[in-house]
Amino acid sequence: MAPFLLIILLIFAVLPGPGFSQAARKPAKPPPPQKAVQARETTINDVNVQPAFKTGEELFKQGKTDEALRTFLAIYRYSRDMLTFLDIIRPNYEKLLEESTSFTQEEKEDLYIKQKRVRDLTSKYSSLRIESAYYVGAAYAKRGDAEQARKYLLEVCQTAPFSLKPKSTWLKAKNLLLSLFQLEGEF
């Protein structure tokens, strides 16, 4: 009887369909979901800030609002941090030049050169901060995030040079703010 039982078990194990052979097999696992690959953000620095700004403008013109927003936010943050850093350095150089009488002529010239570089960088990054803040505000406005858009556009109106020229950053920011505030009429 034992060999007969063994043969029947063997037949059931070999037959296709549900049975002992199916219990031995494990169901195939579904493949893990693939993660969306995000483009690596470029680190903004003094060397690539201008090309990144031009790339951001092109992306904005092409209607690629999210990519433009990421680019301009990176430029804005870098410019803001650079201006903070320069504000820390500038008074120290000025203090050294005013108080020190023991510097050689060469050391004084070196400090004047550094001080001029700080002024030049301050001008460059002030402009970049204003322009990038405008584009960040405009991108948020396009996305329908009026609160964030107002935050950046108000900063532009506070810091950009006042101008009534139609292509000025100040006037473009003001007009975009008016539409976000849903104000009508001339201002």
So what's the pLDDT on residue 60?
96
Report CA-CA distances (Å) from 27 to 10, 30, 57, 77.
22, 9, 52, 51
Angle between helices 146-159 and 169-181 (to 10 degrees): 140
Distance CA 169, CA 126 (A): 13
pLDDT per residue of the chain (187 residues) written in tens, 0 to 9: 555 444 554 455 555 555 444 445 555 565 555 443 344 466 899 999 999 999 999 999 999 999 999 999 999 999 999 999 999 999 998 898 888 778 888 988 999 999 999 999 999 999 999 999 999 999 999 999 999 999 999 999 999 999 999 999 999 999 999 999 888 766 6
Largest CA distance in the chain: 114
Provide φ and ψ at 99, rounded to 5°: -95, -25
Q: Which residue has the tokens 């935050």?
A: 151
Domain boundaries along the sequence of the chain? 42-144
Distance CA 43, CA 49 (A): 9
- The answer to whether 130 and 160 are in contact (CB under 8 A) is yes
Predicted TM-score (pTM) above 0.85: no
So what's the pLDDT on residue 38?
42
Length of the chain: 187
Judged on CB neighbours under 10 Å (0-12, 13-18, 19+), 38 is: exposed
